[in-house]
Amino acid sequence: MKNITILGAGIVGKAIALDLSKKYYITSLDINSESLESLSGCPNIKTKLIDISNEKILNENIRDADLVISAVPGFLGYQTLINVIKSKKNIVDISFFPEDALSLNELAKENNVTAVIDCGVAPGMPNYIIGFHNQSMKIEKFYYEVGGLPKERTLPFQYKSSFSPCDVIEEYTRPARFIENGKLVTKPACSDAELVYYKKIGTLEAFNSDGLRSLLNTMNHIPDMREKTLRYPGHINLIQALFTSGFFDKNPININGIKITPFDFTSEILFNTWKSNPGDDEFTVMKICITGTQNGVKKEITYTLFSEYDYKENLSSMARTTGFTATATADMILNNLFNEKGIFPPELIGRHSECFNYVIKYLKQRNINYEKTENIFH
């Protein structure tokens, strides 16, 4: 069996390790012993406590890997990606970092590396889907909305997170970029809030977020593209209040002679409030809409996802929908179905129908179903 090294053993990193351990030897690396404990004793999984941010130590610990998966927090993501590429290892990355990964394309080629970035639920699956349909359609509009939420709505935030709180806060504070009438538009995160209704859930609130990322470059011929995040109504008002009050500022302030950034303080506080625990009932919901013309026929293609907590595997829907997009991609690379060298967001892989269908089938086998419907305009 081949060897995969997974960087990060958080909620999503754990799901990735458990899924791939059924077919590969896994080494899970993390700086947090508590995170590694949950994988201790699992078949085909070896755990090791290391500081992933140390390039020399990281290089030593991925030397025998046939492929690396990075599931580290966003603030570590970009440099970790660089370090892995320099180690000449193929990598699938789900870390949500703000830097432009496409700028590393030449570095990846020079090191003969296949690096797939933004390979989670979103960004990730919307990218695969638009990449696939862009081959056969003239797309005029691309829109998706996505959210992971607890079923129990506990005030005030009505929210639990499978990710590091600092990554969630970045999503709430990073200006949202989208394409409107063929032009790049930038608005504050959390802007243009609107109420939307889902049959299985009820009313949710959708707001602008900066999830298009690589699509702004690779699909900039499409005149209208936008992403929105979904939360329960009222949540975003609390976030905006914290933002306006300075709780997300990254400049240190002095409190009784101690310097601390409001961002770090807030992240630490919200970690306890937002932390999801094993067994917490939750769901992930996403709707992806593509409007355009195919073979002279104008149509709208919609993909919908509704995934719930898996009590058999004891894994959250967000961990599974995010993690298994990455494991499908890793499995595809290790089976040599995709072997091009450079930096690849999923839309550049999804354009190959055999790769797109491979990922969809892989997810379906794990009860993650993207239901497709078509509406033809006459």
pLDDT in tens, 234-254: 999 999 999 999 999 999 999
**pLDDT at 34 (0 to 100):** 87
Pinpoint the residues of the chain covered by CATH 3.30.360.10. Answer: 125-308
Report pLDDT for 271. 82
Residue 200 has a pLDDT of 86
**Cα angle 365, 341, 77; round to 5:** 75
Q: pLDDT category, 228, cuts 50, 70, 90?
A: very high
CATH 3.40.50.720 placement within the chain: 3-120+316-368
The pLDDT, as a whole number, for residue 169 is: 86
* CATH level 2 (architecture), domain 3-120+316-368: 3-Layer(aba) Sandwich (3.40)
CA distance 284 to 125: 13
> Which tokens go with 40?
């201790």
Lowest mean pLDDT across 5-9, 193-197, 246-250: 246-250
Asked if residue 81 has pLDDT above 80, the reply is yes
Nearest to 38 by CA among 268, 274, 278, 282: 278
**Top-level class of domain 125-308:** alpha beta
pLDDT of residue 268: 87
pLDDT per residue as tens digits for the range 127-168: 999 999 999 999 999 999 999 999 999 999 999 886 677 778
Chain centroid offset of residue 256 CA:
39
Max CA separation in the chain (angstroms):
69
For residues 309 and 281, give the distance between their C-alpha atoms in angstroms, rounded to a whole number: 6
The pLDDT of residue 143 = 98
Structure tokens at 75: 């603030």
Task: Write down the mean pLDDT value for the chain.
Answer: 94
Contact between residue 358 and residue 291 where contact means Cβ atoms under 8 Å apart: no
pLDDT: which is higher, 377 or 164: 377
